[in-house]
Amino acid sequence: MTDEAQSAGSREKILEVAEALFARRGFAGVGLREVAETAGLGKSSLFHHFRSKVQLYFDVLGRALGRIEARLLPTLAGGGEPMARLDRAVDTMIDSLAEQPATARLLLRSIFEDDDFAPDPIPEAEPAERALEAMIAGLEALLRDGVTCGAFRPVSARHMVQTLIGATVYHFASGDFGEQLVGGSLFSADEVRRRKDEVKSLLHHGLAATAPVPTGG
């Protein structure tokens, strides 16, 4: 019996299984019957907890973004040299994405699927959007600070944010392809540590203002 799970936290259970399913197959690829069945409920019961499929999707998305935001913003707000702060931010981002294997793919898909809903503003999406914007703004500010105070090379903060997202979110969203590429689970403790080291060392060498420039072409 799973009585306690059913009576106490049906809403949480739905969010959990929906997160995994939306991450794996996307908004259009998941049916509410499957969500309900996986959660151990009838389909009608979903509508008792969520107004619509769109509402469920954005609640799932906002919940995932909120989890990361709650860890990343304090990290960004902490003091220290820009490079040390960036290191901590990378560690936090990668930890957050690695601990919940569905999250990275859900987030990356959401970047695409937002265009889908594009015609209307979609009020349900606002909490998720605000969390995302806060994190992006924090990362951008950190990079800009590092450049203006001379700790970083004069890179474009915006482009570097894109590169950071690619190096973290994309990596942990790459699924079977990524696992075939690196030759093992992306989410094992070893591989997660390895990813952190690779990203941070690339930033140490590639972003710091100290090194001379050996441009040949």
Partner DNA sequence: TTGCCGACCGACCGCTCGGTCGGGTATAAA
Partner DNA sequence: TTTATACCCGACCGAGCGGTCGGTCGGCAA
Contacts with a second copy by CB under 8 A lie at 24-29, 81, 83-84, 87, 105, 108-109, 111-116, 118, 136, 153, 155-156, 158-163, 165-167, 170-171, 173-178, 181-183, 194-195, 198-199, 201-208, 210-217
* DSSP state letters, 31-64: -HHHHHHHHTS-HHHHHHH-SSHHHHHHHHHHHH
Longest dimension (CA), the chain: 68
Looking at the chain, how many residues does it have? 217
- What are residue 152's DSSP bridge partners? 208
Contact 21, 107 (CB under 8 A): no
Part in contact with DNA (CB under 7 A); list of ranges 43-51, 101-109, 139-147, 205-213:
43-51
- What are residue 208's DSSP bridge partners? 152
H-type alpha helices, the chain: 3-29, 32-39, 43-49, 53-77, 82-99, 103-116, 126-148, 157-165, 171-173, 175-182, 189-207
Nearer of residues 13 and 97 to a second copy, judged by Cβ: 97
Report 63-102 residues binding DNA (CB under 7 A).
none
Q: What would the two tokens of residue 124 be?
A: 């349900």
| Beta carbon of residue 119, minimum distance to DNA (angstroms, whole number) | 15
Q: Is 53 in the site for DNA (CB under 7 A)?
A: yes
Q: Is 45 in the site for DNA (CB under 7 A)?
A: yes
Contact 161, 143 (CB under 8 A): yes
Task: Pick one of 16, 34, 91, 179: the residue that binds DNA (CB under 7 A).
Answer: 34
Q: Is 12 in the site for DNA (CB under 7 A)?
A: no
Nearer of residues 13 and 109 to a second copy, judged by Cβ: 109
| Beta carbon of residue 126, minimum distance to a second copy (angstroms, whole number) | 15
Site string for DNA, 196-215 (x = CB under 7 A): --------------------
Nearer of residues 40 and 101 to DNA, judged by Cβ: 40
| Beta carbon of residue 191, minimum distance to DNA (angstroms, whole number) | 34
The three-class DSSP label of residue 109 is helix
Binding site for DNA (CB under 7 A): 6-7, 10, 30-34, 36, 40-45, 47-49, 52-54
